[in-house]
Amino acid sequence: MKLATRRLLILGFVEFTFFLFAGIGARADLLFSRSFTEGAGFDISASGVYITVNYAMGFSGLFPLFDSASWGVGDVGTTRTLTQATDPDFSNFVERLTDGDLEQIVFWLGATPRGTSGYGMLEPDFIYGNPADPRVDLHGYRIDSISLFMNSLTIDSPGGDPNGDGQWTDVNSTFTLSMNGEPVPEPSPIILAILGAGALSTTRRHLAHRS
C-beta separation of 75 from 50 below 8 A: no
pLDDT of residue 74: 96
Which of 31-45, 86-100, 192-206 tops mean pLDDT?
Answer: 86-100
Question: Which pLDDT does position 114 carry in this prediction?
Answer: 63
Q: Which residues are paired to 200 by β-bridges?
A: none
Predicted confidence band at 72 (pLDDT cuts at 50, 70, 90)? very high
Give the pLDDT confidence score for residue 191 in this predicted structure.
47
Q: Is 147 exposed, middle or buried (0-12, 13-18, 19+ CB in 10 A)?
A: middle
* 170, amino acid identity: D
Evaluate if pTM is beyond 0.95: no
Residue 27 confidence (pLDDT) above 90 = no
- The span from the CA of 162 to the CA of 184, in Å, is 52
H/E element holding 33?
A: strand 29-42
- pLDDT score recorded for residue 139: 95
Q: Which of 142, 58, 66, 76 is nearest to 110 (CA)?
A: 66
Query: If pLDDT is split at 50, 70 and 90, which confidence band does 188 have?
Result: low
**How much is the pLDDT for 22?**
47
CA distance 97 to 180: 13
Give the Cα separation of 58 and 56 in Å (integer): 6
Chain segment 113-163, per-residue pLDDT in tens? 666 788 889 999 999 999 999 999 999 999 999 999 999 999 999 999 999
Residue 171: what pLDDT? 94
Please say if the pLDDT value at position 59 is more than 80: no
Residue 13 has pLDDT above 50, yes or no: no
pLDDT over 80 (residue 211): no
Which residue ranges make up each domain of the chain? 28-185
Dihedral (C-alpha) 162, 167, 170, 171: value to the nearest 10 degrees?
Answer: -160
Angle at 56 (CA atoms; ends 55, 57), nearest 5 degrees: 115
